[in-house]
Structure 1
Amino acid sequence: MDIVSIGIIIMTILFSIKGFKDVNFFDRYKFNTAAILKGNQWDRMLASAFLHGDVIHLFFNMYSFFFFSTKLINDYGGIFFFVVYISSILAGNFLALFIHRNNSYYSAIGASGGVSGLIFAAVILDSTMSLQMMFIPIPIPGWIFGIIYLAYSIYGMKTQLGNIGHDAHLGGAFMGLLMGLIYVIMYKDSNYNINFELKYLLLMLVPLIYLVYLVIKEKK
């Protein structure tokens, strides 16, 4: 890890702890469609990623952030990691803003959109990677994890399952896929630890294409 990723973890922890204790602070910086569209508080698009609902929510996001940021920094550089993370947060929140634009009460928090982007960028750049998750005794191929994650997020978005910003997860995942693909195209002829296989990208695009269909249907 480098100083930027360590700084993001520290900032997220401090920001979240402040939100745990200060309701006014939490309400000011959480993602909320009315505050953004009507109140012109666009800083919420980024600041909301540094807030979390509880310690468990914070821990699992930072746990995933730690491993995948380390993977991207070590293999592809700190600048690439930072661009993927921030752009994935914004992509996830812009998708949420579009989907919930007519629901002034919709609110969300968490770094999941950015973490999703890190996960999917890593899977694209190293398609044969495996994920060793807590409480799961066997490694899971990254592309299978990606499909399961997207499918679950689509189901959660349609059913409003739990207090989770599934649409932000999906937007972040899409940005991670896009950034990973751009990196592959730019450096495919160089030795940059790229292990890209098109078939795995095509498989992970299936649930994303379905997402596009849902967004178009919602707009109509």
Structure 2
Amino acid sequence: MSITLIIIIITGLISYNAFNNPTLKARLIFNPYTILRNREYHRFLSSGFIHADFIHLLFNMFVLWMFGGYVEQIFAAIYGTAGYVLYVLMYLIGIVVSDIPSFLKHKDSPYYNALGASGGVSALLFSFIVFNPTQDLCLYGLLCFPGFIWGALYIIYSVYMGKRKGDNINHDAHLYGGLFGIAFTIVAVPGVIPAFIDQLSTFSLF
């Protein structure tokens, strides 16, 4: 059983329990105000294992399944067993790091909450793009563009929507989770930089 599948199963079980247990959800959700005053730092991580509803859960786990498995195999091929550890660290730290900007913004807002694995999933998605910048990624199976183009558009969109606000989506988590994934991949696999450049140098859109 792959590490990716284990993460999906654990996240699904905890999320499902939280759907039916408001007390559990309240204990795990990301609330900067509570974290700061009660020193409940576990919320930085635990919030990544609960979701708003089944659609939110299924979307995040689908993206994790689609791209995480490939990144897991790459790290394992390079580092062996240690690669699995690095993979898990990237995912978990991605969840934590992606929440830091929201923590700083909303630490004095008692009613601000956030949840979901988007930060960790974005880290793995962007790691995949770093390894395969020219591979087509398709939105709803219709709009297909190379990964590096989608990645650039995703960053621009996240920055814009993060400033605009108002749609109850933590776009900052998507943005900083993705940027963390890029940085982690470059540090863990320095050889990815020349490979990335080489793929782009031979790329032709037409």
- Partner letter of residue 170 of structure 2? G
- The answer on whether the counterparts of 1:128 and 1:195 sit within 8 Å (CA) in structure 2 is no
Measured in 1, the distance between the counterparts of 2:142 and 2:149 equals 16
1:125-144 correspondence to structure 2 within 5 Å = 125-133=131-139, 135-144=140-149
TM-score w.r.t. structure 2 length?
0.86
- Partner letter of residue 126 of structure 1? N
Distance 1:44 1:196, change over 3 A: same
How far has the Cα of 1:188 moved from its partner? 5.3
- Partner letter of residue 92 of structure 1? S
How far has the Cα of 1:160 moved from its partner? 1.4
Measured in 1, the distance between the counterparts of 2:60 and 2:130 equals 20
Gaps of 5+ in 1: 201-220
Q: Which residue of 2 aligns with 1:67?
A: 66
- Partner letter of residue 129 of structure 1? Q
Q: Deviations over 1:47-71 (max 9, x none)?
A: 0001100111000000000011111
- Partner letter of residue 121 of structure 1? S
1:1-220 correspondence to structure 2 within 5 Å = 2=2, 4-77=3-76, 78-133=84-139, 135-185=140-190, 187=191, 195-197=195-197
TM-score w.r.t. structure 1 length?
0.80
- The answer on whether the counterparts of 1:72 and 1:80 sit within 8 Å (CA) in structure 2 is no
Matched length: 193
Q: For residue 156 of structure 2, give the secondary structure of its aligned residue in structure 1.
A: helix
Q: Which residue of 1 aligns with 2:79?
A: none
Measured in 2, the distance between the counterparts of 1:26 and 1:188 equals 39
How far has the Cα of 1:73 moved from its partner? 1.4
Runs (4+) of structure 1 exceeding 3 A deviation are none
Q: Over aligned residues, Cα RMSD in angstroms? A: 2.1
- Partner letter of residue 129 of structure 2? V
When structure 1 is superposed on structure 2, of 55-64 and 100-109 the one drifting more is 100-109
